[in-house]
Structures are given as structure tokens and as C-alpha cells.
Chain A
């Protein structure tokens, strides 16, 4: 375990990514304290201005403060990213454990259903779900969450298959442990590594999917700022006020980059096959 910690500390990428993510999380949590303005307040006399003392990153087409909107946007985008992944990871894990452990018709049934979801074009499925449920933050989370369930199910299932016949599971069974106990206490800890890697990647995917939904007009509802919503709104003003699109893109890029590199690094650390030479 100590070597694990050492490797972790040695890996600069992980430290940097964690620092970035911590800053983002802090910004999101403390948005009301940090943001100089109400993100929805309009200053009609300051429309589409550049950076200034009053508006650090300039203003949008309504004269709203971009910096404050990006800070609050972190809140929305991270919430969407984390909650939807939590949702898909929870269901994916459950289905994956069941399918992998019980096998037979259970496995076939679950995996065929997942195949159906998987073969359905992702963005169209998300779009249809949001259209059916009505727009709003929670429905956006739900839609993105549902779309990602099959990936998690597959990841967990294959991890389960690789450990379910190993000794420690057999011995747990031998001493008469109940099925739930075996599933959650013996097998589950062994699938956390691939799950974690998958989750970090899925978070960035979810943030991007939200932006795609915003582009199609069905993302987070205005005037609440999400980065994706800001970017798709700013597209029309790309020439008149480039700052409107640049800053949310920067925020999004840094976040996604941090999640992705963190995921890669964690995989390198956890998976002996990917350990550095």
C-alpha cells in the first residue's frame, strides 16, 4: 500500500489534475461568494463589452457578467457531469454485477437490453428522452445518465467475469456467505478500478453531451448558466464578442482535460499492465 501512495505522489499529473479539479469544485461550491455579480443580472448599458475592472472577462449580449456566469456555470456543468455519471455508474454497476455473477438467462436478458440501448444513437436518445420528459436540469441529468448505463454495465460485467471464479470468491462461498455479501463485499471492491477510470472519462463525456443538447436547444434552461449553454449561445456572437465563446470554452477544456488525464493516470497506477517502465 505504501508503494501505491508513493506512486501516486510521484505522478505529477495526478497531483496537478487533482489540484485543478479541487479549484473547480471550490469555485462551484463557493460561487455566491466568489462571483462578483449575480449571473442573471443584466446591465443593459454594458452589452458585449471586453474585460474591465467591473467585468473581469467582459459581458454577454444582455450585459451579464461572464466571469460570474462561468463560476456559476461550473456549478451547473459539474452537477450535470457528476450526477449523471453517478446515476449511470450506480445502475451500470448493479446490472453488471448481476449479469456477470449470475450469468445464464439473467446475463442474456440484461446484456440484450443494454445492446438495445447501446445501438440507439446516443445523442438522439438523450434528445428524445429530454423532449419526452420536458427540459430542466434534473431531466437532462436523467437523460445523459440513462444513455451511459450500457457502458458501465459492460465494464463492470467484464470485471466481474474475470474475478468471480477466483479463490477468494470461492472461499467466501464456501464459508456460506450470502449472495449479496459476495457481490458487494467480495466482488465489488475488485471492479472499482475500471469503474473509476470509466467514470472520469464519462464525466467529461456527460459535460460534452449537455453542451450538444444545448446546441439543439434542449439543455439547461436559461437564464441559469451552463458552459455548454453559454458556448452554444455565444456561437452567434463569435465575431462580435469573441470573449463570450472563448472563456466558457477555456473553462470546459480545462475541466475535461483534468478529468481525462486524471482518469488516464489513475489507470496507469491501478492497472499493473500500464505501469510505467
Chain B
């Protein structure tokens, strides 16, 4: 187990290296440069030239890449081209916000999806099953920015409610944080629910077919005892798989929801970075997201062994 984990972690190095090359290349292919964006349409050419020199854009690309990489190896993510601020502390701060949002959204998604998925599986092909499946699919058929806007509009117009404007963390003030993250988490939770429900349903259907479940039923156990006593554990591997992928994906992919609700998370930080051509911010941000993504996947693999002791690496 230990050697497996070490092997996997060593395996991450080329992936992260690949990502650093990819993000650097794509970013520098995007037309526009930070200096002229910063100075806007009012800028004089000499002002732009002065700024370019100041932020080191005059260096050859390969030099820029190597010096960035050199910093990374030493744990130095560099500073923002625009504000001169250290990037790593910002990434960590924003990551903690994105993490809270993601976990809350996953919680909402699961709370909806797992019971409904089990219900759907038990009553497979009944009306309940069809209604539940269509209802959750509806959730992912409408773009989440439309759903989010609608939530904001309805709540502010008819209930006079608007989330607190200052973002606080759950450990600072849980009640306030709940309100801050509620709308974006619901918006994301709907999408999560659709995926998890689909997986729960099919995993359960499969498990319920297995002999040991039939045996358990035949022994006269109630349906619910069977479901929670036997089937749940045996169905959890695919569910955990999709959950892990979702968490990893959402940590970098909540860009739109963060933008919509002005949640200062990591996705928004990187998005702004792209708009501003703040190269070190985007590079650092994407690399960090990717790192988290691969680590979450590793964690999922480890969780497998815990759920099912037969799995060995």
C-alpha cells in the first residue's frame, strides 16, 4: 500500500510537468498582452513598453518559462503581474472558499440523489422511477447560469432575500456561511445530483441482481434491511468513483457559478487571470487545480481498498 502510494505520487510529476507546459503554451498563444490590457485604450506606446519591461515580458518565452518553473520547484508561485501580490497565499485562500462551496454543493447533491437513486432502483421502471429520472435530468438540461440567475431574481424580487455580501467561512460563522454559499451550492448541487443519481440507480440495480441479495431477501429480511445492510456497501464503489471525479472536477470547474455569485474562489481567480493575461496567476492556479484533481483521484483509489478489502494494489 505504502509503496503503491509513493509510486503513484512519483507518477504525478510528469503529469504536472505536462500541465505546466500546456498551460504556459496555450496562454502565450492567446493574443493580447498584460501591459496593454492594464493600460487600456488610453495608453501610449511608450507607457506600454515601460510596463512590459517592468513585468519582464521582454524576456524570451523559454527564459520566462524556465524562471517560472525554477520558482515553482522552490515552492515560489511568483507574483501577480497586475497587483504585484504573492500568488500562493491568494490561491490557498481562494481554494479554501472553493473547497467549502464544492463540499456544500456535493452534500446537497448527494442528499437529493442517493435516496432518490435507491428509490428509483427499488421501484425500477415504475412511474416513480421515470419521474425521478426526468426530474434530475431536467436539472442538467438547463445551463446553470440560467438557473442561478433565476434563483437570484425570484428570491430578491418575491422574498426580498439576498445572500450576505461578505464571504465568510463555515468555521468563522456557520449560519452566515450557510447563507453565503446556499444559492451557488444549490445551483451546482442540481448538476451533481443528476450524475450521482444515475450512478446510484444503476449500481443498485446491478447489486440487487446479485445472489447474496436474493439470498438475504429469501431469508425473510425486509427490503430496507437488505438495502442498507448489504446493497449500499456493495454499490458504493461506482458511487465513490463518480463522487471523486465530481469533486476533483468542481474544484476547478465552478468558474461560472463563482462568476455569477461573485464568490471569490479559485475558478474566478484563474478566469480573471485569463482575461487580464496575468500569466503567473493562471499558470499557478491551473497547476494547483490539476494537483488537487490528481490527488483527489489518488485518494479515491485508496478509499476503494477501505470499502472493499479485496482490492489490493
Contacts and interface: CB of A to CB of B under 8 A. Distances in A.
B113 interface: no
A274 B206 CA distance: 7
Specify which of B14, B125, B141 lies most central, judged by the most chain A CB atoms within 10 Å of its CB: B141
Given A238-B150, A257-B134, A264-B198, A120 B143 contact: no
Specify which of A116, A123, A255, A260 lies most central, judged by the most chain B CB atoms within 10 Å of its CB: A116
B192 interface: no
Given A228-B143, A257-B141, A123 B206 contact: no
Nearest to A227: B143
B198 A121 contact: no
A122 B271 contact: no
Given A116-B18, A129-B26, A131-B274, A253 B252 contact: no
B206 A212 contact: no
B160 to A, nearest CB: 15
A138 interface: no
Contact of A123 (B18, B209, B253): B253
A112 B14 contact: yes
Given A124-B255, A257-B137, A131 B143 contact: no
A132 B124 contact: no
Interface residues of B, number: 47
Contacts of B125: 276
Contacts of B253: 121-123
A33 B259 CA distance: 40
Specify which of A119, A216, A256 lies most central, judged by the most chain B CB atoms within 10 Å of its CB: A119
Interface in A113-127: 113, 115-125, 127
Contacts of A260: 137, 140-141
A215 B143 CA distance: 9
A113 B267 CA distance: 23
Contact of B249 (A122, A208, A274): A122
Contact of B141 (A215, A216, A256, A264): A256
A56 B288 CA distance: 50
Contacts of A6: none
Interface stretch (B83-91, B165-173, B289-297): B289-297
B145 A115 contact: no
A261 interface: yes
Contacts of B142: 249, 252-253
A121 B285 CA distance: 10
A232 interface: yes
Interface string B13-45: 011001100110011011100000000000000
10 contacts: A112-B15, A112-B18, A120-B19, A120-B22, A121-B249, A121-B286, A125-B26, A238-B149, A238-B153, A273-B206
Those 4 A-B pairs whose CB atoms lie nearest each other, nearest first: A121-B252, A116-B18, A256-B141, A253-B141
Given A257-B141, A261-B133, 12 more contacts: A115-B294, A116-B290, A119-B19, A128-B26, A134-B31, A215-B143, A215-B145, A235-B146, A238-B150, A254-B141, A257-B134, A260-B140
